[in-house]
Amino acid sequence: MKIWLINQYNMPPEYGHLNRHFNFGKYLKRLGHEPTVFVGSFLHNTRIQMIKDDSIIKRYEDTDYPYYFVKTCDYSSSKLKRIYAMYEFYKNLFKVVNLFKKPDVILGSSAHPLAAIAAIKLSKKYGCQSIVEVRDLWPESFVAYGIISKKNPLLRLLYTGEKWIYKNADKLVFTMEGGRDYIIEQGWDKDHDGPIDISKVHHINNGVDLEVFNYNKEHYQLEDEDLDDPDTFKVIYAGSIRLVNKVDTILDVAKLVNDKSIKFFIWGMGDQLDRLKKRVNDEKITNVYFKGWIDKKYIPYILSRAQLNISMGDTITLFRYGISPNKMFDYFAAEKPCLWTFKSNYSLVEKYNTGIDMIGKCAEEIVEKIMYFKELSKEDYINFCKNSKKAAMDYDFGNLTNLFINIINN
């Protein structure tokens, strides 16, 4: 089958973590299909522009299937430019698709709605199947994060647009498992006299490319005396250091830990890094170590050397539909227990028993959970590691791609 994958914010692995459709393309090709991926030329959350001339399309050469950048402007310094870049990607996409052979399936990934609308419109043009992938519940997420008030009349218009997309797509794929719950709660399913057949709603979570993860773990290793210290119980955080990531909480927890063998290691950069370093210095926190930015290829090795991987955050109402953070699957692939200071329905941490996710996030409670892992018997600790490996294998992109093909053929 000829399968088009449209997602403005996807990128090749060497540039960041938004690789879902790059990975789908890779494994679709191995299964004998003909994928073509269309992404934006300005790479999201970076300052990298992949098209530096007047071209509106450019092929990425370092892959064995067609992967194309479609021209979008640099929107790193402006929210208005980011909105314009969404339209620009949509407009330029329609200009370039005539260069390609007619597809059998078009998937539009709705990090923003125009990619989904493009998939629906193009599928009608070519007489092929349209699949809308829902990775963010807009505008519901705008409400959950306080971006738009429930009383804002714009909200009704956005919900109307969302409903139109769900109605007109041939199939829907949610990354969160509770996608059906969301549609039913909105009253959009046919049982509530709505226009959406719930049987066309499917679920494919995010995942991990174990082939790449394990290769990097073996071939890109750090010489780091902290990671090599056999007497240290290493609690590791690897990711952005911004307000939303609640890295402050790690410092609050570290101050309460009396066991000197427990140390916290933080890899990453962000606008809160300098402030947190100052906190460590001013408050004389001696068991927290900022390791700075590290190339993504070293992350598998770092996470695999932890005794416990940790992620901080708030539990919000949106999580009742489930969550799909990329970090979760990297933690699974590291084959070590994980601690999450937020909780969701459809929890994979609970399903596979890979660690603990918790609603309460006060520092005292988190210290208790860390001590729980520190004091585990060897047998119980190894079971957590085995469970993590099983979760990673189930959510390997090879398996997820087979699931995608099954949905296409359903």
Within this chain, do residues 198 and 229 fall inside the same structural domain, yes or no? no
User: 178 and 109: one domain?
Assistant: yes
Identify whether residues 348 and 311 lie together within a single domain: yes
Instruction: For residue 94, give the 3-state DSSP assignment.
Output: helix
First to last CA, the chain: 14
Same domain, 77 and 14: yes
- 241 and 164 part of one domain: no
Question: Looking at the structure, do residues 118 and 251 belong to the same domain, yes or no?
Answer: no
Q: Do 179 and 250 sit in the same domain of this protein?
A: no
Unique residue bearing structure tokens 């941490």 = 349
For the beta sheet containing 262-267, the strands, ordered from the edge strand earlier in sequence to the opposite edge, are: 288-292, 262-267, 233-238, 308-311, 338-340, 355-357
Find out whether the peptide bond into 195 is cis, omega within 30 degrees of 0: no
Q: Report which secondary-structure segment, H or E, holds 265.
A: strand 262-267
Backbone angles phi, psi at 323, to 5 degrees: -135, 165
Say what the pTM is: 0.95
User: What total number of domains does the chain contain?
Assistant: 2
Task: Compute the distance between CA of residue 394 and CA of residue 146 in angstroms, rounded to an integer.
Answer: 35
Do the beta carbons of residue 336 and residue 308 sit within 8 Å? Answer: yes
Q: What is the pLDDT of residue 355?
A: 98
Please state the separation of Cα 336 from the chain's center in Å: 19
Long-range CB contacts (within 8 A, 24+) of 292-295: 292/267, 292/268, 293/267, 293/268, 293/269, 294/222, 294/238, 294/267, 294/268, 295/220
Domain identity same for 233 and 88: no
Is 290 found in the same domain as 243? Answer: yes
CATH at residue 186: 3.40.50.2000
CA–CA–CA angle 387, 393, 397 (5° rounding): 145
Neighbours of 66 (CB within 10 A): 16
Nearest to 240 by CA among 264, 269, 265: 269
* pLDDT < 50: residue spans in the chain: none
- Which range of residues forms the domain containing residue 150? 2-207+396-409
* Residues 390 and 400 occupy one common structural domain: no
Q: What are phi and psi for residue 95, nearest 5 degrees?
A: -75, -30
**Cβ-contact 173, 407 below 8 angstroms:** yes
pLDDT of residue 371: 98
Residues facing 110 on adjacent strands: none
Dihedral sign from CA coordinates of 65, 410, 129, 138: negative
Alpha-carbon distance of 257 to 329, in angstroms, equals 28
Does one domain contain both 159 and 14? Answer: yes
Q: φ, ψ for residue 127 (rounded to 5)?
A: 65, 40
Do residues 245 and 225 share a domain? yes
Q: What pLDDT, on a 0 to 100 scale, did the predictor assign at position 151?
A: 81
